[in-house]
Amino acid sequence: MNDDDIISKMIVLHSTFTLPSDLVIRIYESKADITVKETCFGLIIEGERSVVDEVAREIRTLDPNRIFIKERGVPPGDPHRCRAGRGGGPKPGFHQHELEFPFLPYITSALEEIERGEGKGTKMTRSLPIHIETFKDIIEKEVAQSK
């Protein structure tokens, strides 16, 4: 990955006080050399990796617990993704957004708890892998019980 690779990032908003248009204005004010597309879930930005990464970092500071950013595999207007070229219907990936969107308030809430120092924290314990013979015994017992 080079800094001059062309990449796209999705900026997904789940904010009660930041609108996609606010982000677009902020990006235009930065005079960054990127393409910006406003969408139903937020924005898609595309340009050189170094520029897009910098803009994404700056945008996230506006509302860090409610602005979610992920790299996108295709550029805006890609004919394989664009409904105009496919004859309508939902865009590929739309159903994934639809599935993820209801979880954003929980993620926001957890991030805010951590900021306030209220996060309970969980100590992670590492499970050791089980021996193959033990695994085979478990499977045999489960199969025997299901008969």
Q: How many domains does the chain have?
A: 1
127 in a structural domain: no
Residue 2 pLDDT exceeds 70? yes
Residue 76 pLDDT exceeds 70? no
Output the six-digit token pair for 31: 């005079």
**What CATH number corresponds to the domain at position 37?**
3.30.70
Predicted confidence at residue 122, as pLDDT, reads 72
138 in a structural domain: no
In this prediction, residue 47 has a pLDDT band, given cuts at 50, 70 and 90, of very high
The pTM (predicted TM-score) of the whole model is 0.68
Residue 39 lies in domain? 6-116
Range with the poorest average pLDDT among 4-13, 18-27, 69-78, 104-113: 69-78
Output the six-digit token pair for 135: 């695994």
Average pLDDT of span 20-25 = 91
147 in a structural domain: no
Residue 7 pLDDT exceeds 70? yes
CB of 21 within 8 A of CB of 59? no
131 in a structural domain: no
82 in a structural domain: yes
User: How far apart (Å, rounded) are the C-alpha atoms in residues 68 and 88?
Assistant: 27
Phi, then psi, of 124 in degrees rounded to 5: -85, 130
